[in-house]
Structure 1
């Protein structure tokens, strides 16, 4: 018991030193003919314009797309990114669509650890320079993961920034396709990660406090706080779905990432919150299914 206790304190000490040197809070996805007639001519169906085999990919978003905490403590690991990574363990969306050589030369990762939806328009602005045929979007966890629930991004602001991001894209690249991943179920990540005592000690250092603080508290106040975060995440996902639906070259994952039941094997064993390499592989699978499906 003494050896295990000493080891746990040593790991927490290493993480604490890294956290104190870092800034911010960061959280952790046609064969049928379309209708005929004037209506079909006025608004083509998504199936008619969707290319299931794009030849270049750019990724925007937050720490999940950067592979944060998947390889080492409090470090980005883009090689295991679900979107553009090169790791054979993950088999990223880029590798699945473009092959290893194509992914190495025709995929780019502009996501940033700590990013929120307000940062997305600038990321998209950098991505359009590459003129990708497919843009992947995964963002929103950090908008909910704040110090308090009152600090969370409002649904209205979230919508406005996402709409601005798509306008920025369309001004330069009207035919680029967009894959939008839903925000993960943060409450489920809490319920899974809280089973690990070391993970809960690390959470105390400031990982997604709106959801993870006082991890073992089950009183009315704690329950209300977590439910408020969960409601906001569901609101964000509704925005992603609605805004994407207005663009014939945009596909939302239908809440597939939100609905995915991440277990402890799919969570980083550094922070018990971000996806592990296994979790990144699951996100790549979800994205590939959505992008290559005949119907949106």
Structure 2
């Protein structure tokens, strides 16, 4: 048989030209193979850590999750050991028993991004193999809108913390978790007498929650600006994590996007996650994190 457009038989094609044709065909297929996600396969699982430390604020401390205005670290979504929450720690312990008892909570109630470098230093001293970081709610939830942390300062604070982790724990895996959508807090609680009373009585997040029933343009714009600040913070968290390198993973705004409900909030302040809220936070953030 002859090839189209030529009178030279296929069987008599010189070896060099046959080899060239084969290589050319393979080269044509190669970009398609590399661009095909299915061909690459699933991400390679990491070895499960044997120690962990959580960084953050009152959310990570489990504040109001089991008592009146007290920390409840046993119900922390990250390092807690209460089975009802099924924290990151408990999920990892099921894979790697060696982590047992090596779950450290370095978070502090009331902490802001400026406190993260110090907490990162604690994680370094503990030799953590896995670190979770959830911070920013208190940078946005302040007494007044003008008191919110600027986006540039927030980023500088996060960079300082991550740099300390990277230099002190170069092999550790770091999960940076997005800040919950605090605007949704107003949305799900504004029609609740209990929530409005708690927000007013305890002065909770007045930058956002002041005048919760007001529909004035000024109040609407103020709430939207606070939400936008949280969006900006999350953008900086994502970028800082990318700059950190392959040992850092951002949750892709999974926590920010989660549509939490009023019954997942503490009825003592209608701000912090209750036990059910901590359980959901654990599930959402862990599912968006590392594959062990």
Whether TM exceeds 0.5 here: the answer is yes
Structure 1 counterpart of 2:112: 116
1:73: Cα distance to partner? 2.2
Tell me the SS of whatever aligns to 1:71: coil
Matches for 1:5-20 after TM superposition, within 5 Å: none
- Which runs of 5 or more structure 2 residues have no equivalent in the other structure? 1-32, 35-42
Please give the root-mean-square deviation of Cα atoms over the aligned residues, in Å. Answer: 2.0
Summarize the Cα distance change of 1:218–1:104 in structure 2 as closer, same or farther, 3 Å threshold: farther
Instruction: Specify which structure has the bigger relative contact order, considering alpha-carbon pairs within 8 angstroms and separated by 6 or more residues.
Output: 1
- Structure exhibiting the larger radius of gyration computed from Cα positions: 2
1:106 to 89, 102, 108: 102
Structure 1 counterpart of 2:235: 238
Tell me the SS of whatever aligns to 2:84: coil
Structure 1 counterpart of 2:85: 90
- Structure 1 distance, partners of 2:99, 2:145, is 39
Moved more, 97-106 or 82-91: 97-106
1:231: Cα distance to partner? 0.6
Paired residue total: 250
Q: Is the 8 A contact 1:52 1:291 kept in 2?
A: no
- Structure 2 distance, partners of 1:133, 1:236, is 26
Matches for 1:129-278 after TM superposition, within 5 Å: 129-204=125-200, 205-246=202-243, 247-278=245-276
Structure 2 counterpart of 1:279: 277
- Structure 2 distance, partners of 1:146, 1:78, is 24
Summarize the Cα distance change of 1:142–1:134 in structure 2 as closer, same or farther, 3 Å threshold: same
Tell me the SS of whatever aligns to 2:286: helix
- Which runs of 5 or more structure 1 residues have no equivalent in the other structure? 1-33, 36-46
TM-score normalised by L of structure 1: 0.80
TM-score normalised by L of structure 2: 0.81
1:292: Cα distance to partner? 3.7
